[in-house]
Amino acid sequence: MWSTLPFDVLAKIFSFLSPDSLACARSACRQWHTCARTYPSTLPQHHQAWFLALPTRNRGQCCYVHNPVVDKWHMLSLGFLPDPIRPVASIGTLILVRPTNCTILQLALCNPFTRQFKYLPMLNITRTNPAVGVVILEPGQPGPNPDFRVYVAGGMSEAPRGGATYEATLEMYDSVDDAWHIMGFMPVEFAVRLTVWTPNESVYSDGVLYWMTSARAYSVMGFHLGSHTWRELSVPMADRLEFAALLWRNGRLTLVGGTCGEDACIWELTEGDGWGLIEKVPIELGVKFLGGKRSWGSTKCVGSEGAICLYREFGSGMVVWREIEEKVRWEWFWVEGCHFIRDKQVQNLQIKGVFLYPNLAPSCLLSI
């Protein structure tokens, strides 16, 4: 019967299973468990990224993931973490996180499915509250652990004679040599913006790292990696937007934002640094999302390769724009907020979200 199926054939069947179904299948008997362990699926091409919600007032207890295929929420225990964390960005099947119990920036990699966690080395110049960004080298290459670089810009560091000063350096971590390198400097006023007004991670597009800054009016700062030069981009309706987020979609820098009483919009960066409106959140979804209110104030937004998600608190529900046909058709979906898991009520928590490709295979990258 099936227990005698050769492993390479069984492994191919496993590669068609979503992570939750794979978890069940490999628990069926020793043969199947050994097969799943021996032939871990490389990142399956047709599987979608899952939304991961991390409570911000995080007592380090758990996080929540959403399976988009069957529209189901799961709870993942975070008891394995040494410190409570906040997600920064996602790197394929891993998330880049920072512990919240220390002011100095330290970064770590984490896979909540395999319960692995590993700190990156400390930066050359310790600093608090810098802007952070990730560049994945050669995305789309086979394998769940691509090479990547992390960029840290600005922040506040200790001044030579005591006190703190704005840190005008930019550092880069290279996963290939597992080390930080100082890459360059920036004008002090940029360092201030990157420290005080840049809560979210950067978006990499076309050789430039872009950060959304929100001082009075929103604007975008860009660092060109090749020439180490900085530039600024204006943002449509910059002083009226109640929320604004940068994403990468279909090879273009994408901006999502909303103004009071109107539809939330999605723009794409065009030639000549202009923004072209490409889509609006459908009215009925916007109304449902805001619960009848007119203000987009508490809205947050994240994206992955094939999806853009607007979210608020954990129980509020989410609006998702998802790629249905590759590069051809995107559709809007409503995702009900999570109120119960395993018949236990879940609090309506504040969350920070990232998209993640679930991977059940332990990564050697994270073995200490």
Partner 1 sequence: MSMAAVETKKITLRTADNHEFEVEEAIAMEFSTIKTFFDENPDASEDTIPLPNVTSKCLSAIIEYCKSHLAFRARETSSSIDEQVRTYDEEFVKARDNESLKELILAANYLNIKALLDMLNQAVADRIKNKSVEYVRRFFGLENDYTPEEEAAIRAENEWAFEGVDPDDD
Residues contributing to the site for partner 1 (CB under 8 A): 1-3, 5-6, 9, 12-21, 23-25, 27-33, 65, 70, 72, 74-77, 113, 341-342, 360
HSE-up (13 A, CA, CB side) for residue 356:
30
Q: Which is nearer to partner 1, 24 or 159 (CB)?
A: 24
Cα pseudo-dihedral 213, 226, 305, 171, rounded to 10: -60
What region, left, alpha or beta, does residue 296 occupy, with left being phi > 0 and alpha being psi -120 to 50 degrees? alpha
What region, left, alpha or beta, does residue 13 occupy, with left being phi > 0 and alpha being psi -120 to 50 degrees? alpha
Structure tokens at 105: 């920036």
Q: Which is nearer to partner 1, 16 or 270 (CB)?
A: 16
CB of 120 to partner 1, least distance (A): 26
Contact predicate 352/86, CB 8 Å? yes
CB of 18 to partner 1, least distance (A): 7
Q: What angle do CA 166, 104, 222 make, to 5 degrees?
A: 50
CB of 68 to partner 1, least distance (A): 13
Q: Which is nearer to partner 1, 247 or 360 (CB)?
A: 360
Residue of 208, 221, 44 whose CA lies nearest to 135: 208
CB of 350 to partner 1, least distance (A): 22
CB of 17 to partner 1, least distance (A): 5
Q: DSSP letter for 128, please.
A: B
Q: Which is nearer to partner 1, 97 or 360 (CB)?
A: 360
CB of 137 to partner 1, least distance (A): 29
Contact predicate 220/211, CB 8 Å? yes
Q: Which is nearer to partner 1, 188 or 324 (CB)?
A: 324
Q: Which is nearer to partner 1, 9 or 368 (CB)?
A: 9
Spacing of C-alpha 131 from chain mean position: 14
